[in-house]
Structure 1
Amino acid sequence: MRAMLRWAHADLRTHRGEALFLVCATAGIVASLLLAAALLGYATNPWQRVFTQSHAAHVWLHTGRAADPARLAGLDGVASVAGPYDTVATTVASRGARASVELRAAGERPPATGRPLLTAGRWLDPAVPDGVVLESGLAAALVAGPGDTLALPGGTGRTVTVLGVADTAEPRYRPGERPGTVWAPAATVRTVPGLPGRLTGLRLTHADDTEYAVQRAVTALGAGAVTDVTHWQQARAEAQDDTRLLGRILGLFGLGALAAAALAVFGAISTRVRGHLRDISVLKAVGFTPGQVVRVFLAQHLAYAVLGAALATVLTHTLGGRIPGRVGDAVGVWQGLPGHPAALLGVPAAVVALIGAATGLAAWRAGRVPPVPAGAPAGPRTGRGLSRPARRALALPGVPPALVLGWHRAFGRGRHTPATVARLALPLLLITVALGAWTTIERFDTRPERLGLPAALTARPAEGVGDREARALLQRSPDVLAAHRGLQVAALVPGQTGTITLRGLGTRQDPYPYSVAEGRPADGPDEAVAGQGLLDLLGAGVGDWVRVTVGGRPQVLHLVGRSIEPENGGRTISTSLDTLRENDPDLRPTVYHLRLRPGADPQAVRAELLQAAAGRLDVHQVSGPADRLAALRGVVAGLIAVLALIGLTEVSTAIGGAVRAGERDLLALKAMGLSPREVTAVTVTAVGCTALAAAVAGTALGVPLAHWLIDHEGRTSGVGAGIAHGPSPLHLLAVVAAAVLGAVALAVVPAARAARRRLADTLGAYG
């Protein structure tokens, strides 16, 4: 045991830099995986916590006041019923901001099923007849809290007072897409002007029976009585949208970095075994058994892995919650979840186990090295001689011999160089994919019109403001290039099991600029384009006819294209406003999508329009995926740093192998008349050629892989394929140049040191 410890200590002193790289690479990998676990847990568990604590309903049915949902309690699979609650669709205003809301009648005590969880203030109080409770998302949009007052429509000056703010497991408020929930006394709901309705929640015995339960409920009430259906899967998906992509990308790159690190460790040990065959043979000759040789290599590198994993675990646990932005919030929530201790211990243990498996294979090869045979050299054979192309290149005038010999050493020395190139290419491939993700995010921010977001602002006219007046107000600003009229309604898909968004955008004379990834834009009667999420929901494709129901009226549309739809999970079908009017002539535009001139500041234009409209328009800035993915830029930068560190580890291994090969060839090179500087150039050229081959292979394979992965994520999330944008040629050139120049810079000092060794030292080491 003492001899094994002395050998490990001497090896550590000799290769301190390589040991530091292995520890830091392991720490970066473990930290990435732990942050991925935190984000994935943060994406699901907060909603699940609210759903469980509120005893939430699995299905919510919106009907007219004439419907009688009482019969739903007797349906098979229904455990309990929430409501029915009288509702009214209206708007509220606070400090100049206006929001669409659904006032829901509630009693003095929160309901048992679908109970809102108060986060601030208190519940409804009979002593405050005009008191209300706001859903937390709506409260954040209105910047309202307990004690604030909200103005009701109608010009009567009537207001309500906010008593509390509550969380709910239902879909959250989204401006222009989904109204916010306001719990109010029944007397207030009955007297507020607006669209009346009724809401009923069903809590099921088995959550997986949601679609079947919805079909039974719609059959019991009548298809025409149900105007909207929302279910728990939809609410959970919306709650996960902001952080699920972060968690997936962190998990993907964490696993890729783990594989790259395992290969780097395997390559480092394999190269060390080849470079220390004489030492290993001497160890076995003095009494070390094969098992002892295996154990000393395995224990040494497992110690590096354990140290790096422990360092990452401690830092993530103690400092992870202080990371700015959503990542820090995720770590803070994750630390309070039940599965946190298991993940905090399981992830580092899995990383150490995987690195140990890779180490064990290389260490097993070290154990097979035979003792030094009497009279035989312990060093390995130097490989094949110069190839015919190398000899011809050396004969050419003006060709530096160091360049030819370096190229030959890199690619003409047997089977080890391809393995080195493959190991170094893997982190470079992942870096290229990460740059592709970065470029796609930048494209969402700089070219939103190509990714389904041509409008920077949306404007909604106040009550009583007609189409002509609204367009006149919007066209006063020179920064507004176009104001496309639009209408958005909820529609039921065939089978009445889910609600999708039906939009009427633009007219045939003023078409809306769709971002069509497949097919063509909708420019004819009954033509429409749909998002990937809707196509998946209906099992339809471009060229099919689909039938949806709007307010009890069927609408048959011809899908002529697939559009990129970043919102609503892609469950959106869009046609022209003229097509919707053919089915219902009373429809009027309710929203205007504003395209601005290039370079215009949306916030400044919004402020200008609000001031000019004097309360007649409600203008909002369009929030796209770039806003939700802003935190991903920092994540990608961190992943690139981790992958670069793994690449440096592999480069240091490649340099060590090249230097040892150069020491074996030192006698021959000096006999050929090469100076120490030229011998150094041979080793540096060999390392540079290896890095160049790996960089070209990594970037060449990384670009199509980035396109496939990003488009696959877009397809599965409902946005649709066609959003991927690979790194620019300049970025790829920078990756290749950084890899080659970095490898060359790291190789200069050890190569020069080896080239200046005395011939007697070389003879003693290899002969």
Structure 2
Amino acid sequence: MSVLGRVVRSGVGRRRVPTVVIGLATLMAVAASVLGGSLLVASSAPFDKAFARQQGAHLSLQFDAGETGADQLSAAADAPQVTATAGPFRTASVTPEPERGIPGEPMTVVGRADPGGPVDNVALTEGRWATGPGEIVLSADSGLFVPPGMRLAFPELPGEPTLTVVGLARSVSRTADAWVVPSEMDSLTAPGTVGGYQMLYRFTEADTAAQVTAGREAVTAGVPAEAAAGAQSWLAVKKRAERDTALFVPFLIAFGVLGLVMSALIVGNVVAGTVGAGLRRIGILKAIGFTPGQVVRAHMGQALIPAAVGAALGAVVGHLLAVPVLSQAETAYRSTGLSVDPRVDAVVLGGVLGVVAVTAWASAWRAGRLRTVDAIAVGRARLPGRGRWAARVAARLPLPRPVGLGLTRPFARPARALATGTAVVFGTIAVTFTFGLSASLSEVLTAREHNAADVTIGDPEAGPRPNGPGAGPAEAADPAAVTAAIDAQPGTRAYYGAATTQATVSGTSGSLTVFGFTGDASWGGYRMVSGRWFDGPGEAVVPTPFLTATGTRVGDTVTLNGRGGEVRVRIVGEVFDTRNDGMDVFTDAATLTPTEPDLAPTSHHIAVTPGTDVADYIDALNAELSPLGVVARTGGDGGESDVVVTLNALATMLTLLLVAVAALGVLNGVVLDTRERVRELGVHKALGMTPRQVIAMVVTSVVVTGLAGGALGVPIGVALHGWVMPAMGDGAGLTLPDSVIAVYDAAEVVPLALGGLLIAVLGALLPAGWAARTRTATALRTE
């Protein structure tokens, strides 16, 4: 082994604590970076990747079984544009009764023996596929939250069949709400009906609506014109999926970028501190004949060896952490099959090791240029003048002597305290920023639901149902009878009704949805961006995309062209809304009465008085509503959505990783400082300082740094959040309400600032324990 190799090996073995710190910091950084990089990759076109992976259907066609047969549909699929087909599968529309006698939404069930195939590979997310009669697999996106093992009853069908849920699955093409074996379809087809057939197609070209339409015309040319009962283009599914994820994709991207940046900064800080503490050793190496280049290579090797080991272990840990995280991301993106991209491993490993190499090179090169005598002198110098004024001030304070000695330590080594404080600042910024992102995300997802009601009757979103599986008409009932039942129910605090219609706006193309409210709906979860909620007929509030598309602003007047004529409304407010691409109008129902006198509410939203049991209220109300053919359900405040829970879990995991990395940066600085003053510690112990007092002295040496870092990191994190959030909204074409951006208050800022102190103390505990256990004689012999 060469002399340089022996120096590298001895340096790694002799300086065990810095070696371990570099390895651990690199391990945590790589793990956080793999996690963050995986989120970045998963957040890039999640629908397109899932569609390609699952061989999604470019076109899903529904046929009337009374007008055509399976053989005819199979023969008609041999069109030149078709590259693959699946089906025909028998279909039926049914309404299950999952629990408590409350019927669920109508849903489309498809008879399919196998989840795989050339088109639309259905991916199981939980449980297994149905293998025989009496079993059903639910779509994870159906909205019917029934876990495997529970049973679904169909009381409206002959024999009242009951099926056991054996699995949950996800179709990227959204081709069904549930699947059963083909032989089960006879029991799910209502008497007097023949059901339908579903055909799934992939085309050679399907990038535009015109190409999909051409493919549809080709495959339906051989069947009767009246046989085609419905169609769903993959472009419509993609648009809906991207609209659903547009708001939280930027959040996941921000989490990923934060993990990458934090990891690089902390690792660089740790390596720079470790190399900088070896100035005396550098001087000795130069004294025995090492050139500056050899000094640089030696210290780079001493940093890269533990970093490489830590990076390898970090990649393994990152993969293990990424499994549950990507599983949660699948829930958020309604996708399947997400995994760590090999390119993430390559970029992260290369990037982190590159940061280590560059930082070690820069620090060693700067030290290597010092004269030999200067390097030795700097490495051994006590710098006697520094920190004396702080020691004199601490001596006058009514503090225990060990605490006073600890508090003055940062002033004796300001450069090292600055490096340690930098790690605390970065950690506090990460915690503050991640906390804000998580809180803002919860506000965004809550704001877009528009359902602060405790109880809803009819369509919870008060809007038209989209075309596709599970679509059906909104529940209809006599509005006067429904409101009478609500008024008579004890515990009713407030309620409003919502009706919907379609209209166009003069000067623009395309239709939009108009929501007409009876009663005051301002409490129903509609977050205002600017202006105010409407007060009466003739006024309306609209989302940001509406203002952008029509070139209007709050205060302008627009003309709505409805089924019965024109209605002019004045825009009095801008509301946060993401449905229907933001092309909605919210107004008083009386505004629409002149043109549509028969327009009636299709949903009712109720707030109960404080202390009222919602479940008992719903049971009592349903007893009154049963003759009317409508059902009351729990409203939007029943709990956090799966997406909120999922993304909060992601934020928590990444925050813990970043805090650990920052704490390692502190640990490195305290270890270097403790090693440097080990003889001083021996003197203190010889004079009677107990192990507990030693621990107190070492821990309090980072208190000032932790408090200062927290006090600096929190405002930077808040400012970063305030800058990033509006940019995210602009990227999605939305103006975010103040409630989404202003998520910090004094009760939260103070604990966040103290988080810097917590990070510093966590990093100092280990070296404090080492210092307390060091024998006095050993410490005194150390030079």
Residue 668 (structure 2) pairs with residue 645 (structure 1): no
| Aligned pair partner of 1:458 in 456, 459, 470 | 456
State the AA in 2 paired with 1:270: A
Q: C-alpha deviations, 1:388-430, integer Å up to 9, x for none?
A: x937964995566877776665357555544543332012111
Q: Is the 8 A contact 1:321 1:330 kept in 2?
A: no
Partner of 2:362: 361
Match of 2:25 in 1: 22
Q: Is the 8 A contact 2:23 2:310 kept in 1?
A: no
Find the aligned partners of 2:314 and 2:568 in 1 and give their Cα distance: 57
2-side partners of 1:488 and 1:508: how far apart? 16
CA deviation profile, 1:480-517 (whole Å, cap 9, x unmatched): 32220111334456677655432112347999674323
The residue that corresponds to 1:223 in the other structure is: none
Following the alignment from structure 1 to structure 2, what is the Cα–Cα distance between the partners of residues 331 and 231?
A: 19
Structure 1 gaps of 5+ residues are 61-77, 83-89, 105-112, 123-132, 175-183, 193-200, 215-227
Rounded Cα–Cα distance in structure 1 between residues aligned with 2:250 and 2:714: 22
Counterpart residue identity of residue 558, structure 1: R
Task: Write the distance in 1 (CA, Å) between the matches of 2:747 and 2:726.
Answer: 22
Describe the shift of the 1:294–1:544 C-alpha distance in structure 2 as closer, same or farther (beyond 3 A): farther
* 1:614 aligned to which of 626, 630, 634: 626
Residue 12 of structure 2 contacts residue 19 of structure 2 at CA under 8 Å; is this kept in 1? no
Distance (Å, rounded) in 2 between the aligned partners of 1:302 and 1:417: 25
Between the aligned partners of 2:148 and 2:676, the Cα distance in structure 1 is 71
Does the CA-based 8 Å contact 1:33-1:347 persist in structure 2?
Answer: no
1:342 aligns to 2:340 (yes or no): no
**Are the counterparts in 2 of residues 428 and 643 from structure 1 also a CA contact under 8 Å?**
no
Residues 366-388 of structure 1 deviation map (CA, whole Å, 9 limit, x = unaligned): 443443479x735365558368x
Aligned-residue offset at 1:247: 5.5
Distance 1:144 1:161 in 2: 14
CA–CA distance in structure 1, aligned partners of residues 726 and 667 of structure 2: 35
The alpha-carbon distance between structure 1 residues 43 and 490, as it changes in their structure 2 partners (threshold 3 A), is farther
Match of 1:467 in 2: 479
Give the aligned partner of residue 693 of structure 1: 708
User: Aligned residue for 1:726?
Assistant: 743
Q: Say if 1:42 and 1:333, in contact at 8 Å, map to a contact too.
A: no
How far has the Cα of 1:92 moved from its partner? 5.3
2:273–2:668: 8 Å Cα contact kept in structure 1? Answer: yes
Q: Which residue of 2 aligns with 1:55?
A: 58
The residue aligned with 1:410 is 410
Residue 422 of structure 2 is aligned to residue 437 of structure 1 = no
Q: Is contact 1:455–1:595 with CA below 8 Å preserved after alignment?
A: yes
Superposed displacement of residue 469, structure 1: 1.0
Find the aligned partners of 2:248 and 2:484 in 1 and give their Cα distance: 42
Q: Equivalent residue for 1:220?
A: none
Tell me the distance in 1 between the aligned counterparts of 2:322 and 2:669: 34
Q: Distance between the aligned counterparts of 1:578 and 1:371, measured in 2?
A: 89
Structure 2 Cα separation of the partners of residues 79 and 355 of structure 1: 53
Match of 1:33 in 2: 36
Residue 644 of structure 1 and its aligned partner are, at CA, apart by 1.3
Q: Which amino acid aligns with 2:32?
A: I
Residue number in structure 2 paired with 1:10 = 13
Kept in 2: contact 1:484–1:510 (CA 8 A):
no
Cα distance change, pair 202–733 in 1 and its aligned pair in 2 (3 A) = same
Q: Deviations over 1:646-692 (max 9, x none)?
A: 1211211332354467569899x99xx99868998776544211111
Taking the aligned partners of 1:9 and 1:666, their CA distance within structure 2 comes to 25
| 1:515–1:564 contact (8 Å) kept in structure 2 | yes
Counterparts of 1:29-428 in structure 2 under 5 Å? 29-37=32-40, 39-40=42-43, 43-45=46-48, 48-49=51-52, 53-56=56-59, 137-138=141-142, 140=144, 235-240=237-242, 248-315=250-317, 317=319, 320-321=322-323, 326-327=328-329, 340-372=341-373, 377=377, 379=379, 382=382, 385=385, 390=389, 394=393, 397-398=396-397, 409-411=409-411, 417-428=417-428
Contact 1:267/1:653 (<8 A) preserved: no
Give distance in 1, aligned partners of 2:773 and 2:515.
71
Over 3 Å counting, the alpha-carbon distance change for 1:513 and 1:252 in structure 2 is closer
Q: Give the alignment partner of residue 743 of structure 1, picking from 760, 765, 772.
A: 760
Q: Compared with structure 1, are the counterparts of its residues 451 and 297 closer, same or farther at alpha carbon in structure 2 (3 Å cutoff)?
A: farther
C-alpha distance in 2, partners of 1:118/1:335? 8
Inter-partner Cα distance in structure 2 for 1:496 and 1:116:
40
Change (3 A) 1:114 1:493: farther
Q: CA deviation at 1:591?
A: 0.7
Asked if 1 retains the 8 angstrom alpha-carbon contact of 2:17 and 2:671, the reply is: no
Kept in 2, the 8 Å contact 1:712–1:721? The answer is no
Distance, in Å, in 1 between the alignment partners of 2:212 and 2:263 is: 49
Partner of 1:582: 594
Using the TM superposition, give the Cα deviation of residue 233 of structure 1 relative to its aligned residue in structure 2, in angstroms.
Answer: 6.1
Q: Indicate conservation of the 8 Å contact 2:120/2:173, yes or no.
A: no
Shift of the 211–330 alpha-carbon distance from structure 1 to 2, 3 Å rule, reads same
Q: 1:407 & 1:311 partners in 2: Cα distance?
A: 36
- Note the C-alpha offset of 1:466: 0.9
In the other structure, the counterpart of 2:670 is 655
SS state at 1:272 partner: helix
Partner of 1:709: 724
Aligned residue for 2:458, secondary structure, equals: strand
Question: d(CA) in 2 for partners of 1:386 and 1:139?
Answer: 66
Question: How much has 1:734 moved relative to structure 2?
Answer: 3.2
**CA deviation profile, 1:526-551 (whole Å, cap 9, x unmatched):** 21112334344445432333445545
Question: Contact conserved, 1:30 with 1:309, CA < 8 A, in 2?
Answer: no
Q: 1:333 to 1:532 in 2, by over 3 A?
A: closer
Q: What's 1:110 paired with?
A: none
Cα displacement (A) at 1:592:
0.5
**Distance of aligned partners of 1:453 and 1:296 in 2 relative to their CA distance in 1, 3 Å threshold:** farther
| Alignment match, 1:628 | 643
SS class of match (1:475): helix
The 1-side partners of 2:277 and 2:120 are apart by: 69
Number of residue pairs matched?
Answer: 709
Query: Following TM superposition, by how much is the alpha carbon of 1:150 offset from its aligned partner in structure 2, in angstroms?
Result: 6.7
Cα distance change of structure 1 residues 548 and 171 upon mapping to structure 2, 3 Å threshold: farther
Closer/same/farther in 2, CA of residues 430 and 646 from structure 1, 3 Å limit: same
Amino acid at match of 1:650: G
**Residue in 1 aligned with 2:539?**
527
SS at match of 1:523: coil
1:408-464 deviations in whole A, cap 9, x for unaligned?
65357555544543332012111012222344466689xx68984322332029977
Deviations 1:310-359 (A, max 9, x none): 3344355567546796347799976578x944345444444443444444
**Cα distance in structure 2, aligned partners of 1:30 and 1:300:** 23
TM-score by length of 1: 0.71
